[in-house]
């Protein structure tokens, strides 16, 4: 994770490709959109719209998702573009709850490596 730029979605075209052609899984805290990207690594993006709240709350929600994803990351399959979109309910939550929800969503999307989910 030293050089971030390669693993982060940046371009508008990448985003619209995921939005249009990707699949999605929702939960109480966040929606995840994902799609195979044909690369050997996985790229991610964390998004908060104005519906979530003011800038403090938007920053907070992104950081929570990022912290949660950092714990899950070793068990995630390679070769996907994943967008995490925050929902307003995430405000005021603790990290473990967010991590649990994201893990469930990723599992149902089939992105988690099989042997790694002991739940």
Partner RNA sequence: UGGGCAGACCAGGCGAUCGCGUGCUUAUGCAUGAGGAAAGUCCGGGCUCCGCAGGGCAGGGAUGACGGAUAACGUCCGCCGCAGGUAACUGUAGGGAAAGUGCAACAGAAACAUUCCGCCGAAACGGGUAAUGCCGUGGUAAGGUUGAAAUGGUGAGGAGCUGUGGAGACACAGCUGCCGUGUAAACCCCAUCCGGAGCAAGACAAAAUGGGCAAUAUGUGGUGCGGCCCGUACCCGCCCAGAGGUAUGUCGCAUGAGGCCGCAGGCAACUGCGGUCCUAGAUGGAUGAUCGUCAGAUACAGAACCCGGCUUACGGUCUGCCCGAACU
Partner RNA sequence: GCGGAUGUGGCGGAAUUGGCAGACGCGCACGGUUCAGGUCCGUGUGAGUAACAUCGUGAAGGUUCGAAUCCUUUCAUCCGCA
The angle that helices 55-72 and 95-109 make with each other, rounded to 10 degrees, is: 60
Q: Spell out the residues 6+ positions from residue 72 whose beta carbon is closer than 8 angstroms to its own.
A: 99, 102, 103, 106, 112
Q: In the window 31-60, what residues touch RNA (CB under 7 A)?
A: 45, 47, 54-56, 59-60
> What is the Cα–Cα distance from 82 to 109, expressed in whole angstroms?
11
Least distance from RNA to the Cβ atom of residue 66, Å: 7
Task: Please identify, among the stretches 28-36, 64-72, 73-81, 101-109, the one whose residues bind RNA according to the rule CB under 7 A.
Answer: 64-72
- Supply the minimum distance, in Å, between the C-beta of residue 58 and RNA: 8
Instruction: Measure the CA–CA gap between 32 and 51, rounded to whole angstroms.
Output: 16
The token pair at 51 is 């519906």
Token pair of 90 as six digits: 């995430």
Convert residues 73-102 into a mask of x (bound to RNA by CB under 7 A) and - (unbound). Answer: ---------------------xxx------
Residue 10 touches RNA, criterion: CB under 7 A = yes
What are the residues binding RNA (CB under 7 A)? 1-2, 4, 8-13, 15, 45, 47, 54-56, 59-60, 62-64, 66-67, 70, 94-96
């Amino acid at each position: 994770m030293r050089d971030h730029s390669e693993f982060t979605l940046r371009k508008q075209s990448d985003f619209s490709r995921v939005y249009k052609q990707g699949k999605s899984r929702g939960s109480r805290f966040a929606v995840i959109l994902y799609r195979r990207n044909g690369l050997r690594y996985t790229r991610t993006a964390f998004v908060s719209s104005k519906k979530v709240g003011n800038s403090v709350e938007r920053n907070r929600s992104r950081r929570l998702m990022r912290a949660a994803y950092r714990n899950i990351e070793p068990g995630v399959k390679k070769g996907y573009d994943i967008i995490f979109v925050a929902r307003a309910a995430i405000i005021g939550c603790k990290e473990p709850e967010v991590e649990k929800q994201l893990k469930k969503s990723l599992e149902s999307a089939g992105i988690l490596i099989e042997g790694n989910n002991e739940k």
